[in-house]
Amino acid sequence: MTTQITMPALSPTMEEGNLAKWHVKVGDTIEPGQVIAEIETDKATMEVEAVDEGVIAELLVAEGTQGVKVNTPIATLAGEGEAANAQPSPPSRGRGQGEGGRADAPAPEQRNAPPAPAPQGGGGARVLASPLARRLAEQGGIDLSGLAGSGPHGRVVKADVEAALKAPPAKQAPRKDAPPRLESRALTTPGSVQTPAPHKTLEQQGIRAGSYDLVPLDMMRKTIAKRMTESFRDVPHFPLNIDIEIDTLLKARGEINKRFGDKGVKISVNDMCIKAAALALKLVPEANASYTSDGIAVHHHADIAVAVAIDGGLITPIIWAAETKGLAQISHEMADLAERARTKKLKPEEFQGGTFSISNMGMMGIKSFASIINEPHGMIMSIGAGEKRPVVKNDALAIATVMSVTVTCDHRVVDGALGATFLKAFRGFLEDPMAMLL
C-alpha cells in the first residue's frame, strides 16, 4: 500500500514551510523516527522524522522549494513488497531560488503524481502561469488571460505580470472577477462595518516604476506582518510609561560580575529586568494573564518571552518560570537561546507560548518606545537606554542614571490601575535590587 508523506505542521500557527533538504532518496528504506528532511519555518529549521516504515517511492517536492502548504504531499512511501518508482528524485533548485533567471524552467514531471490543475483566467480559458505570477496577478487585479506569457510554452511568469502592473492604467486588463478598486475610503454609517480598501500598488500611489528594488517577503516577514497587523487591529491596547533610576542596580551588577566573573557569570541589565519583571508578575498575579473568549487565564508562572533580533526579523525565546531562577541561570539561558535563535536552531517549545514579553532596545540608544502586544500575552514591556538625567532629590537638582520603560497593555486583561501597580512593583525591584534576593 502506498502512503503519502505530507508537509507537517511543525507549530500550531504554521501554514507553509520551505523544504530545505532531503536526507533520503528514491529507493531508500526508512523506519519510524528516522530523519528524512529539514523544513524551514518562519522561525527555525527543524528535522522531520518518518512516522511509517517503507521504501521511498517518489520525492514530489524538490529541495529548496519555498512556500509548501501544510498537508501538501511531498513524497510517497511504498509498503513492504512494493517496488519504488525508478524515477530519480527531483533536482535541487537551490535554497532561496525564486522566479527570475532559470527559476521558471518547467519542473521535471512526476510519474504517477496527479497533474496540477491549470490556472484559469476570468473567462475560464486555461492559462499557463507560475505560482508567483498568479499571486502577483491576484494582488494587482490583473487578468492572466490577457497577458502574453514569455516563459516556456507561453507560460506567464513574474516578469510578465510586473510589466502589466507598470503599464499605464489604460493598458492594464482588469480581472473580470475582480471587485472595482476604490480610490477613496468608503464612508460608514453608524453600526456598519468598514471594509478595508483594496491594496494599491506603489505605482498607483505615485511611485515611479523602476525607481525601487523589490525584496520578496520571506516566511518570517510574512508571519510578522500578519500577526502584528492582527494584534494592532484586534487588541484594545494602551501604553503606560515610567522612569526608573538604575544607579543602584548598575552598582550591584558590577559587583556581581566582579565577584563571580571567574566562574563564567556575566549579568546584563536585561537579565536583571527579566528577573524583576517575573517577580513583579508574581507579586501582581492578575497582570500575568491572557484574554480568552471563555474568560481571563491567570498563569501559574511568569514565562518571559524576550525579543531577539535576527536576520529578516525577530523571534521571542522564552525563559520559563523565570521567577524561580537566579540571575546567573537566567543569564546563561538567555545567552544560549539568543545564539541558537540567530542560527535558527531553536525548538518550537523554546519560542512558542510565554505569558509576558520584553523588548529591550536600550543597547541601540533608543530612549523610549512602545511595542505591539505579542498575543496571547496581556502585556509587553519596552525598555529604553539608561542615561544621565537631571532629577530632583530632597528639593534639589541631582544627576541620576534613568531608564524609561513602557508597557503596552491589553485593556481586556490589564486596565490602567492594574498596569500601574505592576510597573510600581517592577520599579521597586530595579531600584532596590537586593529585594530580588528575598
Q: Which residues are catalytic?
A: 411
Question: What per-residue string of b and e applies to 244-281 under the rule 16 or more CB within 10 Å gives b?
Answer: bbbeebbebbeebeeeeeeeebebbbbbbbbbbbbbbb
Cell of 198: 483594496
For residues 323 and 302, the answer to whether their CB atoms sit within 8 Å is yes
Q: Please state whether beta strands 313-315 and 318-319 pair in parallel, antiparallel, or not at all (unpaired).
A: unpaired
Distance CA 78, CA 192 (A): 56
Residue pair 426/404 in contact by the 8 Å Cβ criterion:
no
Rounded Cα distance between 359 and 304, Å, is 11
Provide the grid cell at 324: 524561580
CA distance 270 to 432: 16
What are φ and ψ of residue 149, in 5° steps? -75, 140
177's CB contacts (< 8 A; 6+ apart) are 122
For residue 299 the three cell numbers come to 498563569
Q: How many CB atoms lie within 10 A of CB 304?
A: 29
Which value, to the nearest 10 degrees, does the dihedral of the CA atoms of residues 346, 350, 354, 357 take?
-40
Residue 375 half-sphere exposure toward CB, CA atoms < 13 A: 18
Q: Is 234 exposed, middle or buried (0-12, 13-18, 19+ CB in 10 A)?
A: exposed
Query: Helix or strand or coil: residue 51?
Result: coil
Q: Read off the DSSP letter of residue 173.
A: -
- In b/e form, how buried is each residue of 371-395, taking b as 16+ CB within 10 angstroms? bbbbbbbbbbbbbbbbeeeeeeeee
- C-alpha radius of gyration, the chain, whole number: 27
d(CA 132, CA 135): 5
Strands 304-306 and 356-360, sheet pairing: parallel
Helices then strands, each counted (H, E), the chain: 7, 18
